[in-house]
Structure 1
Amino acid sequence: MADVAADTARDSETVLKPKQLIGVRHYQFVLMSTTLFISFGIRTSLSVAIISMTEETPPDPSIPTYPEWDNTDTILSSFFWGYILTQVGAGQLSEYFGPKWFLVMTMVIASAFHIAVPGMAATLGSTGVMICRIIQGLNQGFLFPCIHNMISKWSPLYERSMISNLVYGSPNLGIAVCMPVMGAICASKAGWPVAFYVYGGLGLVWAVVFAIFAENSPSLHKSISEEEKYYIESSNSVTHHATKKVPTPWTTILTSLPVWAIVVAGCANCWGGHTLLTEIPSYMSNIMNFDLNDNSQLSALPYFVQYFFGIVTGPLVDRMIEKKTFSVTSSRKICNSLASFLPGAALIYLAFLEDFNPTLVTVLFVIAVGASALIQSGYLINMLDLAPNHAGTLLGMINSINNVFSILGPLSVGLLGSDKKDPILWRTVFLLAAGIYIGCGLFYVLFTSAEVQSWNEPIDRKNKVQKEISNGVQTEDRTNTKSSNCQMSY
């Protein structure tokens, strides 16, 4: 009976898809995407600006610089010291109160402290910059749990990969735009402080836009059609009818092997991804001898490729799932494997490279970073497959663990050696990242799943549905909410 119910629900999803090409949900995804685009510009700014902040000869003598700072790796990693602390609480709060206003405050606080960086650097030195970054990290810990919570409410099943790539691809676009923009401003006579003011001001303006137009869920949106609302809510396994938050089954979550498969896959992505994000500019400067403008432009290229690769592959994955070319579980494994093994192979090749040809190096970085776009159709959206009712909490818990590796990845470069002009140091860095990518990718393939887990639903609701199934009853409530309570196997 469970399989029959699931198949019937999937058939109805296809029939009830709204006729209009662009719906209210798409505007919500654009709002989420732009939030992440700006937030990652704020987060990434320092990776480019730190080169100008520590040079001895600025473009204009009036621009302050700090060549005596010898702790740049620590400064760059300090964002994640705060970032890992708030995410589980953020996930819980977003599920109790809704994510919208937490996202607004995240933008306001992160932007204000971005504007404060030049003043704090002048007053307190590198410690002042780290204070700003730690506060930004604490605050941006709310970002992904809240966004994930909104996606769980607004995304139909057969649009998840497309939505994931649109929303979670926007940080890559934010990075890709930020690097050349920051590079150009920092290399100009305006100087690096202006770059912080520009991004901080943009974030404050966007917080107002988001506050006006974003909404927590379809049921709270005033202008959405009943047809579109039903299409969304009938296929995403969220308990929309619940009058209060579904209790979090902590013991079951912490002992779930598919959850730990996602954790492990995320650790690899955070180690490799953030090592590349923070260190590509340094590699280009020290090994390739590029100036700041060329450095930032080439450093940005892999992230442009990553963004557009994700935008293209997301709808294809959804289409293959809808046409049953692959099951949801198989598609998640295939995408995540490519996102792990291709970067691993590219980094191994880069590690043993002796001819530092700019074109070849750029192509290898493009492969290493660009292929990671497939995580958005892999482990990242896999959390919604398992338990959309707990999307914010799951994302918060998993991202907290993962981002320990976001700290360790960049810090490992400093621990492995101090001479960034030494190719052997970079060989060690790249081989370590490649090993983590490949090992964690294999673990994910072996142990992940895309079944809606039994603990997604509250116990009383689950017992009610199981009784209905055993009696062969389809109630009006189940037809309208289509909660997928019976461990749908995709």
Structure 2
Amino acid sequence: MTATKVEEANSSEGSPVPAGIIGKRHLQIFLLFLGMTISYGLRVSMSVAIVAMTDNSTTANPNFETFEWNSGTKALILSSFFWGYTITQIPAGYLAGIWSAQRLLSMGIFVCGLLTLVVPFGSYHGSWISVCICRVGMGLCQGCLLPCAQTLIAKWAPPNERARLGTWAYAGGQFGTVVTMPISGLLAGSVIGWPSIFYIFGSIAIIWAIVFFFYGSDSPGLHPSISHAEKLYIEGSLGILPGTLPKNKLEKSTTPWKEIFTSAPMWSLIIVHCGQNWGYWMLLTEMPTYMKKVLKFNIEESGSTTALPYLANWLLSFPVSWLSDFALQKGVSRGTSRKVSNTIAHWGPGLALLSLCFVPTNNGNQILPVMILVISVGLNAGALCGFQINHIDLSPNYAGTMMSITNCIASVVAILAPLIVGEIVYDEEDQHLWHIVFYISAFIYFVGNLVFIIFGKAEIQWWNDPKEVKARKERKLHGNHEMGSQKHI
């Protein structure tokens, strides 16, 4: 759609909604923010709970059963979520495009909440295998989270608000970590013990899923009470003429799988997403153990202190996203903005982890290592308006499918991270073994972002348009027929 047509549409239907006015798009983003918060809370609560589940001295009520799980078993439990999470990524992205991202997400988190409630029962009456089964099921349900969120953001966020609104939605993951870590630590150390972690967070997830099922919407065109002015503003900014809003569902045959998998910018996203998942989930799953075993925090302190880096990450995500959109308004190219943001997000934490290897922790020094971890995780906020939102830059139509692909492959890395750390750090109190993990993580951060800088792009790819894909295939087929005819002659 040309700029002239958009202007004509706007002038004939009224002025578009100013960007600063609160509207239905902001409500949808807020609901996604809460969904992210709760979903990440369900994931990361186990990182704190497992400390209390294996150490009876961490709770005020010693009557709760504890389990003799070694570091390898604990690593399996922590990684088992991603076994299921990886499997459903691509199917969820496909369903989000051809069916309903809003309904799929609602149902996924609803069942995930139910499985969370079952974890204590499985622990008592089964074994660590029962806990793994619950975690795998939770992962299967949450596989729809990022593909559905990406699909919904692509339909609700105007391009000039994309970094801010996308960051607001995705920042729920960091906020969920911030609130879950200390709350889980307090619950684990209280008289109601570690089972309460799963009962409380599971119940909250079920409530959110019901609310989002009734108040969420797949697109402005399908929302029952959006104002005409806001609908026109969003559609016009996305290049959609009034009265021509496409249905939410894409045709099943239009997904350009070959074009997506042969795209260099897409592969740069896959690689940088793998680097992100290694660093993010390595720290998220292992930091409570590092805090307790190396830095000698107790369970309540460990949960609260572990949350500090993610509080910094959440707080920094807002000025970073604002600066990203502001840079675009000042003429900085979208590609440069994305790459600068992502460089801060990956090379900054990489350098911080390297510096952590040179800080002694065996003399009671706790403040400096914690400050370094705060810097490392805090700077990672730039990834939200770096590679993560870049999926929508490349293809608004298939952003959910693309996210499902990159997150599926990156989830394999998230599975491997705690398992590899468990093998390397066979003695959890040996800081030198942790240094090996930090060196590896810094290297992965560096390489992943370097690939994104070299091969990443931020322009809409030609295969985003189903008609163009179909036309090229027809021209190619027609050309092959002509060559065959000439050969025959």
TM-score (norm 1): 0.90
Per-residue deviation, 1:232: 1.1
Among 299, 315, 339, the alignment partner of 2:345 is: 339
Q: Partner amino acid for 1:295?
A: S
In 2, Cα distance between the equivalents of 1:352 and 1:314? 32
Per-residue deviation, 1:61: 2.9
In 2, Cα distance between the equivalents of 1:173 and 1:186? 20
Per-residue deviation, 1:6: 6.1
- Give 1:76's aligned residue: 78
Per-residue deviation, 1:351: 1.6
Structure 1 residues 458, 226: closer, same or farther in 2, change over 3 A? same
Cα deviations by residue, 1:367-417 (Å, 9 ceiling, x for unpaired) = 111111101110000000000100111110110011111111111111213
In 2, Cα distance between the equivalents of 1:307 and 1:237? 32
Per-residue deviation, 1:9: 5.9
Structure 1 residues 197, 435: closer, same or farther in 2, change over 3 A? same
Tell which deviates more after alignment, 246-255 or 12-21: 12-21
1:292 and 2:299 correspond: yes
Structure 1 residues 452, 345: closer, same or farther in 2, change over 3 A? same
Structure 1 residues 243, 68: closer, same or farther in 2, change over 3 A? closer
- Give 2:486's aligned residue: none
Per-residue deviation, 1:459: 2.1
1:99-178 mapped onto 2 (5 Å cutoff): 99-178=101-180
1:391 and 2:375 correspond: no
Q: Partner amino acid for 1:87?
A: Q
- Give 1:62's aligned residue: 63
- Give 2:261's aligned residue: 254
Structure 1 residues 242, 22: closer, same or farther in 2, change over 3 A? closer
Other structure's SS at 1:371 match? helix
Other structure's SS at 1:241 match? coil
Other structure's SS at 1:352 match? coil
Structure 1 residues 21, 336: closer, same or farther in 2, change over 3 A? same
Structure 1 residues 398, 290: closer, same or farther in 2, change over 3 A? same
Structure 1 residues 86, 461: closer, same or farther in 2, change over 3 A? closer
Pairs aligned (count): 460
Among 415, 427, 430, the alignment partner of 2:423 is: 415
Per-residue deviation, 1:13: 9.1
In 2, Cα distance between the equivalents of 1:18 and 1:29? 17
Per-residue deviation, 1:243: 8.0
In 2, Cα distance between the equivalents of 1:287 and 1:418? 13
In 2, Cα distance between the equivalents of 1:104 and 1:171? 17
Per-residue deviation, 1:125: 1.2
Q: Partner amino acid for 2:419?
A: L
Per-residue deviation, 1:235: 2.3
Contact 1:82 1:141 in 2 (8 A): yes
In 1, Cα distance between the equivalents of 2:344 and 2:84? 31
1:27-426 mapped onto 2 (5 Å cutoff): 27-57=27-57, 58-70=59-71, 71-236=73-238, 240-241=245-246, 245-246=250-251, 247-324=254-331, 326-355=332-361, 357-426=365-434
Alpha-carbon RMSD: 2.2
Per-residue deviation, 1:155: 0.6
In 1, Cα distance between the equivalents of 2:323 and 2:454? 24
Other structure's SS at 2:237 match? coil
Cα deviations by residue, 1:313-358 (Å, 9 ceiling, x for unpaired) = 212211221231x110110010011111000000000122225632
In 2, Cα distance between the equivalents of 1:244 and 1:397? 19
Q: Partner amino acid for 1:346?
A: A
Per-residue deviation, 1:200: 0.7
In 1, Cα distance between the equivalents of 2:227 and 2:262? 40
Contact 2:361 2:431 in 1 (8 A): no
In 2, Cα distance between the equivalents of 1:51 and 1:287? 14
Contact 1:272 1:437 in 2 (8 A): yes
Per-residue deviation, 1:74: 1.0
Identify unmatched segments of 5+ residues in structure 1: 465-490
Per-residue deviation, 1:305: 0.9
Cα deviations by residue, 1:38-66 (Å, 9 ceiling, x for unpaired) = 11111111000000000143432321111
Q: Partner amino acid for 1:18?
A: V
Contact 1:18 1:231 in 2 (8 A): yes
In 2, Cα distance between the equivalents of 1:191 and 1:237? 54
1:402-481 mapped onto 2 (5 Å cutoff): 402-459=410-467
Other structure's SS at 2:397 match? helix
Structure 1 residues 243, 384: closer, same or farther in 2, change over 3 A? closer
Contact 2:353 2:372 in 1 (8 A): yes
Contact 1:56 1:67 in 2 (8 A): no
TM-score (norm 2): 0.90
Cα deviations by residue, 1:211-264 (Å, 9 ceiling, x for unpaired) = 121111000112112221122122236894258515111111001000111111
Q: Partner amino acid for 2:246?
A: H
Other structure's SS at 2:426 match? coil
Identify unmatched segments of 5+ residues in structure 2: 473-489
Structure 1 residues 364, 460: closer, same or farther in 2, change over 3 A? closer
Per-residue deviation, 1:183: 0.3
- Give 1:18's aligned residue: 17
